[in-house]
Structure 1
Amino acid sequence: MSRILTITTLISLLTITVLTTPATSSTDSFVFGGCSQLKYTPGSPYESNVNLLLTSLVSSAAFTTYNNFTIKSPTPQDTLYGLFQCRGDLSNGDCASCVARAVSQLGTLCPDSSGGALQLEGCFVKYDNTTFLGVEDKTEVLHKCGPLIGFDSDELNRRDVVLGYLGTSDGSYKPFRVGGSGDVSSVAQCVQDLSASECQDCLSEAIGRLKTVCGPAVWGDLYLAKCYVRFSKAGAPSNGGNGNDNNGNDEVEKTLAILIGLIAAVALLVVFLSFLRKVCERERGCK
């Protein structure tokens, strides 16, 4: 009976935890993610390396907004590379919170995968057993565009001025950049394992593609593998999948419904087992 009481207590605690979990903040909103098709064997040295790497990323995020790690192994294929980067305007506390959530989501998104990457609104996390650190990569991962504003030359000029500012280098290394002109604002960032010239090259490529794919839109986001560029007009509709709180809340509500259903099922099972135990004791046929 004490075991049954323990299970019931755990169910109660789980219910409280689930119902009091706050909704996902915009910093933690999902942008994109992907996983390696290769899988590792649970309990293998590679799994230990993955756990060590992800733990290191979360711990390091409390002190800096970017870091990379290499977990070496006697077996080359078990050597692991990883990094995290937070948006340049985040505090250490917000960065640590974002990276912890990203790592948690990676575990759900990419179970037993030898590599994975996840971009949230405020941070980016990636790991793989093939080195990507310091490697320039201008592969397009995602682009999204808002409603068209027509061919308003003033709006387009302001957008081009803002994006041109982001793409201009003054010779210093600035992986995180923000700009604005009138009611148009923008932000851009490179992953900091790139050199200054590689960062500049990546941003120039992203800006050119963004202007092409989004045209005269009120907002636009374009993510390459190692950098991104975003712009928006004040008062424009929210950037679709890059911070849609309604979608986030819907997902939370769905998750709560599933968990509450599971809790109810477990509770019924506990009641049934308790009843069965009592019947067995009366019949003196069960130990």
Structure 2
Amino acid sequence: MVFLMKNQQVFFFLLFVISLPISTLGTDSELIYHQCEKNFTQNHILQSNIGNLLMDMAAQSALHGFAISSSGSVNYDAVYGVARCEGDMSHEACSACIIGTEHDIQSICPGSGAVYAWREKCYLHYDITNFLGEWGRTYVMLRHSTSKPEDPKAFEQVLTELMGELIAEAAGARDLTLKFKSGESTVDENYKNSVTIYGMVQCTQDLGESECHYCLKSSLQAMADYCGGSVGCQLIGSGCVLRYEIYKFLFLDEAATGDKAPAPAPSVAAGY
């Protein structure tokens, strides 16, 4: 099913609700969704700027695990871009994911002035309109488990508290690498059938505190509307992503072994 919703910033969301277990949907080796927009022809300068932007984002992702970039004159054929990798990815894996995505979109979206592209664990967006620092311009995919918790009321209470804490931490993070937060909490911890909920939230690093918070809170509401009563849900967007499961789905130990580098300052074009 396809739904259109309009938010306060007069942007539209394209929301796909897929009633299948998350584990059966997509792999990190392929694009799970893409959008090509603002087609242009015979503009060698813009095409060159897009190429330079993509190279810079690939290089940044290898160093920092994300990228914020722009290329070209602000008033003439400029292009702006962000790349985000899930916080449990090493910088090497992040760069490989971004480079693979760039390779795909150059063949799928030739001559496009704006592209959104998602893999399971990384995302890339560039646009000839400066969107940096904004969140409400996105397409999102939302999918959920078909399994239900034994105690829905207790599950929902613990889930709401957990995700609320993670959202506050991610939105308030001053270090750009900490726009990713994960945690866990137990339902009926004194009962033999206790269940542990694992959650994660993440914003693109170009978003400020209020934009990140608004993106995550609005997305959490969408999850409640379409995944309510499910033991697992994943929302993939451009400005932010959220996920919760009753099993561990992150590989934080692997990310911790990756090379670290100081996080770069946001691009001047981000408008901070």
Instruction: Give yes or no for the alignment of 1:215 onto 2:216.
Output: no
SS of aligned partner of 2:39: coil
Could you tell me which runs of 5 or more consecutive residues in structure 1 were left unpaired when the two chains were aligned: 1-24, 237-287
Q: TM-score, normalised by structure 2?
A: 0.69
| Equivalent residue, structure 1, for 2:52 | 52
RCO higher in 1 or 2 (8 Å CA, sep ≥ 6)? 2
RMSD across aligned C-alpha pairs, in angstroms?
Answer: 2.6
- How far 1:116 sits from its partner (Å)? 0.2
In structure 1, distance between residues paired with 2:27 and 2:140: 20
Instruction: Give yes or no for the alignment of 1:87 onto 2:86.
Output: yes
Structure whose residues are more often strand by fraction: 2
Could you tell me which runs of 5 or more consecutive residues in structure 2 were left unpaired when the two chains were aligned: 1-25, 187-195, 250-272
In structure 2, distance between residues paired with 1:189 and 1:126: 16
In structure 2, distance between residues paired with 1:215 and 1:74: 44
Instruction: Please give the per-residue CA displacement for 1:37-85, whole angstroms capped at 9, x wherever unaligned.
Output: x222256221111111111111222211122221124862x11111212
CA contact (8 A) 2:82 2:204 kept: no
- How far 1:235 sits from its partner (Å)? 8.9
CA contact (8 A) 2:143 2:235 kept: yes
In structure 1, distance between residues paired with 2:74 and 2:227: 48
Count residues with an aligned counterpart: 210
SS of aligned partner of 2:243: strand
Structure whose residues are more often helix by fraction: 1
Compared CA separation, residues 42 and 54, structure 1 to 2 (3 A): farther
CA contact (8 A) 1:190 1:227 kept: yes
**Counterparts of residues 162-177 of structure 1 (less than 5 Å):** 162-169=162-169, 171-173=172-174, 174-177=178-181
Is 153-162 or 55-64 further displaced after alignment?
153-162
| Equivalent residue, structure 2, for 1:19 | none
- How far 1:136 sits from its partner (Å)? 3.2
In structure 2, distance between residues paired with 1:82 and 1:207: 25
Instruction: Please give the per-residue CA displacement for 1:7-30, whole angstroms capped at 9, x wherever unaligned.
Output: xxxxxxxxxxxxxxxxxx944443
| Structure showing greater Rg | 1
Instruction: Give yes or no for the alignment of 1:178 onto 2:182.
Output: yes
SS of aligned partner of 2:89: coil
| Equivalent residue, structure 1, for 2:204 | 191
- How far 1:138 sits from its partner (Å)? 6.6
